[in-house]
Amino acid sequence: MNSDIIILTFIMNIIGDYNCFHKIGVGSSANVYVAQHRLFDYPVAIKTMLTDGNQNFASEMKIMKDLNHPNIATLYDVVEEEDRVSLVMEYASNGSLQTRLPLKDEETIFKYFSQICDAIEYLHEVQNIVHRDLKFDNILLDKYDHVKLVDFGLSKKCQEHLLETRCGSPLYSSPEIILSEKYDFKTDIWSLGIILYYMCFGYFPFYSENIQQLFNQIIEQDIVFPEYPINPLLLDLLSQMLHKDASKRLNIKEIQTYPWYKGHNTNLVPLAHSSFIAKKKEPIQMVKKKSFLKLESNLFKKYSLPVYCFPRCPNTNIRKVPTQNLNLTNIKTKSLQNDHSIH
């Protein structure tokens, strides 16, 4: 079965011009649905949030509108209603990277890790953005098995001043976050080190169900590696990424030039839109207008969003199934049944 084919049985919700069919993520302040525009069978992810007392949506929208990178989910549209706002984004049909773990070898680890690094390099070096919530739930895979970084609700520009807000997910929290110290891009590097460690060994370097005990481990305990033979260059990279002193921790450019990283063939990592890399500071230029559905919204003007287009799909990506004679409780989708991640 093609990984981007979705079995749809009924419309679960309607948001603006989009029919929502399947909830794929639930958060404290947002829900995420698989949806499609009413005119065309093209799958998107819609993250919908109540506006009452929730300021993250405005921050996330402001951040995402300027992002243009093949390893970051694209923001297509914004739908504003009386009590909620919805972000219409690129749909990553293969779910969280964590569902692929454990990874079988270093080449596979590098395949995904290098794409994550490319996205982080773009955020740090081009956009001056600290993600602040790097974790497996926010690292998704599209139908081509390409990484798509999502969830910029906690992201922040970091230019002239260091950041102070304590935020993020406990298992991925850096020592400086826990100690309520000022921080910068290096807090993302710690989280990235935690992710790489888990990709390599299948467990977290620091873990406790008690949050205070977890934080004590992160602050006080040394990093410990398994006793079986491991590439020393990889261990060295992990040690430098997980240095408790942020000033001695690697930055993203140093990671990409480290011996273990340089020792792998980056040509092994396919990119669906490699042309974006050379033009990542430029807006997307759409061509062949007859082949695209133009999505225009007053919200694009209100929030200065670029206008994106969906490609028409002659071979539809969504297959509607008649609801009669179906036991809806038994319906599953191959690509979504394990996808609980939230954009």
Residue 261's CB is within 10 A of a number of other CB atoms, namely 18
Q: In terms of DSSP bridges, do strands 75-80 and 84-90 run parallel, antiparallel, or are they unpaired?
A: antiparallel
**Is residue 117 over pLDDT 60?**
yes
Structure tokens at 117: 């690094």
284 touches 308 (CB < 8 A) = yes
Domains and CATH numbers, the chain: 6-90+283-327 (3.30.200.20), 97-268 (1.10.510.10)
pLDDT in tens, 31-73: 999 999 888 878 999 999 887 766 677 888 999 999 999 999 9
Is the Cα torsion angle 231, 232, 234, 239 positive or negative in sign?
Answer: positive
| Residue 187: predicted pLDDT | 96
Averaged pLDDT score across all residues of the chain: 78
Residue 160 — pLDDT band, cuts 50, 70, 90?
low
| Peptide bond before residue 102 is cis, with ω within 30 degrees of 0 | yes
43-50, strands of its sheet edge to edge: 13-15, 18-26, 30-37, 43-50, 84-90, 75-80
Residue 132 gets the label, from left (phi > 0), alpha (psi -120 to 50) or beta, of left
pLDDT in tens, 177-189: 999 999 899 999 9
| Residue 47: predicted pLDDT | 93
**Is residue 10 over pLDDT 80?**
no
**Is residue 278 over pLDDT 80?**
no
Max avg pLDDT among 106-115, 151-160, 260-269: 106-115
Least confident range of 33-47, 73-87, 155-169 = 155-169
Residue 166 — pLDDT band, cuts 50, 70, 90?
confident
**Is residue 247 over pLDDT 90?**
yes
Q: In terms of DSSP bridges, do strands 292-294 and 309-311 run parallel, antiparallel, or are they unpaired?
A: antiparallel
- Between 152 and 26, whose confidence is greater? 152
Is the Cα torsion angle 94, 98, 103, 107 positive or negative in sign?
Answer: positive
Question: Is 320 among the annotated ligand-binding positions?
Answer: no
| Residue 343: predicted pLDDT | 52
Question: What dihedral angle (degrees, nearest 10) is formed by the CA atoms of 305, 310, 311, 317?
Answer: 150
| Residue 277: predicted pLDDT | 34
| Residue 275: predicted pLDDT | 31
List residues with catalytic annotation.
133
The CA distances from residue 68 to 29, 143, 175, 177, in Å, are 26, 19, 31, 28
Residue 135's DSSP bridge partners are none
- DSSP secondary structure code for residue 227 in this structure: S
| Residue 265: predicted pLDDT | 58
| Residue 276: predicted pLDDT | 32
Task: Please give the Cα distance from 127 to 109 (Å, whole number).
Answer: 26
